[in-house]
Amino acid sequence: MKKWLVFYTKSRHEKKSRDFLIKRGVEAFVPLQKVMRQWSDRKKKVEVPLFNSYLFVHETEDKIPQILQTPGISWNIRHNDKPAILREEELDIIQRFLSSGLFIETTVISSMGVGDEVEVIDGSLKGLRGSIIHSSAGNKFSVLLESIRQNVIVKIDPILLKPIQ
């Protein structure tokens, strides 16, 4: 049975990956909203993804390996080692918000907190293990270099971290 599977894309590849899938006959959805952007010489309304780096694909779970071959798609979002599914009622809520014409903000809800041991699951820091620390700029990822008694700290999108059991 087809479900709305959730995928994470490379930065700014949401529309390109969606278009590639649609050309192959796969139903894909990227919620977009119009926002005003200002450059030094002009202002322009542009469509931007509501959820950065998220792409929803209406397909069966057995097609995940083929979808992951799509240019720009990094990985399949998972919860409890199962593919994340966008429920139909959640899809309806997103579409209702978009049709309202109002400016919409989104935030990532993380089940991880300060002090939690985590591992980076993608990107140039993939495989590194460390912990979440608090700073005035928000939570950050920290790796301890024991031999020189120094912490290396970086602000990283929480979606790129998974808790270590």
Looking up tokens 């903000």 gives: 105
Name which CATH class applies to 3-99.
alpha beta
Phi and psi, residue 124, nearest 5°: -70, -20
Confidence of residue 59 (pLDDT cuts 50, 70, 90): very high
Confidence of residue 27 (pLDDT cuts 50, 70, 90): very high
The predicted pLDDT at position 124 comes to 82
pLDDT tens-digit profile of 48-58? 999 989 999 99
Mean pLDDT of the 95-121 span: 82
Residue 89 tokens read as: 């009622």
**What is the residue type of 31?**
P
Confidence of residue 158 (pLDDT cuts 50, 70, 90): confident
The predicted pLDDT at position 12 comes to 93
Share of the chain above pLDDT 90, in %: 45
Question: CA 77, 101, 51: angle at the middle one, nearest 5?
Answer: 15
Mean pLDDT of the 116-132 span: 86
What does pLDDT average to over the chain?
88
The answer for residues whose C-beta is within 8 angstroms of residue 116's C-beta and 6 or more apart is 131, 132, 163
Three-class DSSP category at 96: helix
The predicted pLDDT at position 34 comes to 87
The predicted pLDDT at position 48 comes to 92
